[in-house]
Amino acid sequence: MSKVETLTLASASPQYLAWLARERRGARIVRGTQLAILLAFLVLWEVLPKALIVNPVLTSYPSALWPTFLELLKSSPQQASILVHTWATVLATVLGFTGAMVLGTAVAAALWWWNVLYKVLDPYLVVANAMPKTAFVPIFYIWLGATLSIYGMSLAISVFITILMIYSGFQGIDPNKIKLAQTFGATKGQILRKVVLPGSVPTLLAALKVNAGLSLVGVVVGEFQSANLGLGYLIQYGAQIFKMNIVMTGITILAIVSSLMYLGISWLEAVVMRRR
pLDDT tens, residue by residue, 217-265: 888 888 887 778 889 889 998 888 888 889 999 999 999 998 898 888 8
State whether residue 60 is helix, strand or coil.
Answer: coil
Local confidence band at 4 (pLDDT 50, 70, 90 cut-offs): very low
Question: What is the dihedral angle through the alpha carbons of 83, 89, 91, 97, rounded to the nearest 10 degrees?
Answer: -150
Asked if 261 and 129 sit in the same domain, the reply is yes
Asked if 252 and 224 sit in the same domain, the reply is yes
Checking if the pLDDT of 12 tops 80, the result is no
Q: State the residue range of the domain holding 131.
A: 62-275
CB-based burial label for 6 (10 Å; 0-12, 13-18, 19+): exposed
H/E segment holding residue 109: helix 82-113
Asked if 22 and 98 sit in the same domain, the reply is no
Asked if 173 and 254 sit in the same domain, the reply is yes
Asked if 87 and 208 sit in the same domain, the reply is yes
Asked if 218 and 248 sit in the same domain, the reply is yes
Asked if 226 and 144 sit in the same domain, the reply is yes
Asked if 41 and 168 sit in the same domain, the reply is no
Residue that finishes a domain, picked among 57, 73, 102: 57
User: Structurally, how many domains does the chain consist of?
Assistant: 2
Asked if 196 and 229 sit in the same domain, the reply is yes
The pTM (predicted TM-score) of the whole model is 0.81
